[in-house]
Structure 1
Amino acid sequence: MGSGQSSDKFHCNRYLNGQGPPSLVQQGPSSNERVNGMHDAVNGCQPEGQMTWVILHRDLPGFPDDNTLQINYIFADGIQTEKHPHPGQPYAGLRLCAYLPDNREGRRILKLLDKAFNQQILFSVATNQDGEDVVTTASIPLKTQADGGSSADGYPDADYLKTVRKLLKDKGIE
């Protein structure tokens, strides 16, 4: 964030009391909100977590005329339930940021990711290479770096938005 920008552009802490605005799906396609809801996962394979997003006033490589949507996912440490690989055992939580361009297609993908999060298909509990159970992304790739190219999960990546839209569609998210 540049020093000439107002701090009122970011309201992340505004919804920490759990009283966020309506979901992206409820808001419809004409929403201009700068910050959107917190969603609690309550059932499905994905552990309980939160999804929030903000607009960063900077561009992503490959999208020089657009701001950036930063999506924040937070999963606390927890105990696995019967829907996870090792019920009764602990798992390590996750804090993850993902990025999209703030343009028409980026907002469309954001709404689809919001829907997928609410249907609990974006994340799962899995065993990592060290034998620890952790929250991890499922089968939908997320851009976790703003830059560095596709090999570093960043931008530029000309096919990313199209690829994610197709993968979500294949899972019934449209």
Structure 2
Amino acid sequence: MAKTPEKHVGDPNSVENCAICLGKIHEKKTLDCLHSYCSGCIDTAFKLKPACPICNTYYGVYTGTQPEGTMEVSRCHHGLPGYEKCDSIVITYTFKAGIQGPRHPNPGVRYSGTSRRAFLPVCDEGEKVLRLLRKAFDRRLIFTIGQSHTTGLNNVITWNDIHHKTNTWGGPLCFGYPDPDYLNRVQEELRLKGVTED
């Protein structure tokens, strides 16, 4: 979904600068969102993430560095705090131990396996988030290999900035419910990685 182009107000006689290198634009390339860059700068940026650096409009599909694993979904008849009248969706992610590949921080170094569980309410928004999480998982965006923020260990499978509710209770401080804004926040995190229903 394309964003409305941003309007830039300034001196019409000034030299337009590239937002990537901050120098005068050389061999100008203007994206569909109307933001312009040096051709070489934007081509290099798109190799890392195919999105406009200013407005984050995606061009193509972004694929992450998540190792091979599985995403299994089940349902249970227990409500979550804030969604007591709904059943629950239980997502189980499982990864075996392996060797880091060329796109990981330390190619050739082993990483350990892990299993993670997350919860969503069975409601329209919860089902939508589940579909988006499946798309993100298939694009290898939910996990990566790096340093754990909680344990400090390196060369482990970690979350990749798409937050999950890993507890059924305790609120946001315990990564649980109730958290009335969570379903909207996680959709925005997914959108920033190019994962939408479009």
The TM-score range, normalised by the shorter chain, is: 0.7 to 0.9
Counterpart of 1:125?
Answer: 145
For the 8 Å contact 1:121–1:138, the answer to whether it is kept is yes
Percent identical across equivalent pairs? 39
Of 167, 183, 186, which aligns to 1:161? 183
| In 1, Cα distance between equivalents of 2:114 and 2:172 | 22
> Which residue of 67, 84, 102 corresponds with 2:122?
102
Deviation at 1:124, TM superposition (A): 0.2
Residue ranges of structure 2 left out of the alignment (5+ in a row): 1-62
User: Which structure 1 segments of 5+ residues have no match?
Assistant: 1-42
In the TM superposition, residue 131 of structure 1 has moved relative to its aligned partner by 4.0
Mean CA deviation greater in 149-158 or 132-141: 132-141
- Tell me what 2:107 maps to: 87
Q: Given the two structures, how large is their TM-score scaled by the length of structure 1?
A: 0.73
Is 2:158 the counterpart of 1:136? yes
- CA distance in 2 between partners of 1:62 and 1:155 (Å): 7
TM-score by length of 2: 0.64
Could you report, residue by residue, the CA deviation over 1:125-173 in whole angstroms, capped at 9, with x for unpaired residues? 0123544311011010010001111100000000000000111112111
3-state DSSP class of the match of 2:65?
coil
- Worse-matched range after superposition: 132-141 or 115-124: 132-141
| Higher RCO by CA contacts (8 Å cutoff, separation 6 or greater) | 1
Once residues 62 and 140 of structure 1 are traced to their aligned partners in structure 2, the CA distance between those partners, rounded to angstroms, is: 21
Instruction: Note the aligned Cα RMSD (angstroms).
Output: 1.2
Q: CA deviation at 1:44?
A: 4.1
Matched with 1:70 is 90
8 Å Cα contact 1:109-1:165 kept in structure 2: yes
1:106-131 superposed Cα distances (whole Å, 9 cap, x missing partner): 00000000000000110000123544
Report the counterpart of residue 73 of structure 2 in structure 1: 53
Partner of 1:148: 170
Matched-pair contact (CA < 8 Å) for 1:46–1:124: yes
CA distance in 1, matches of 2:162, 2:191: 11
- SS of alignment partner, residue 95 of structure 1: strand
After superposing on structure 2, the runs of 4+ consecutive aligned residues of structure 1 that deviate more than 6 Å are none
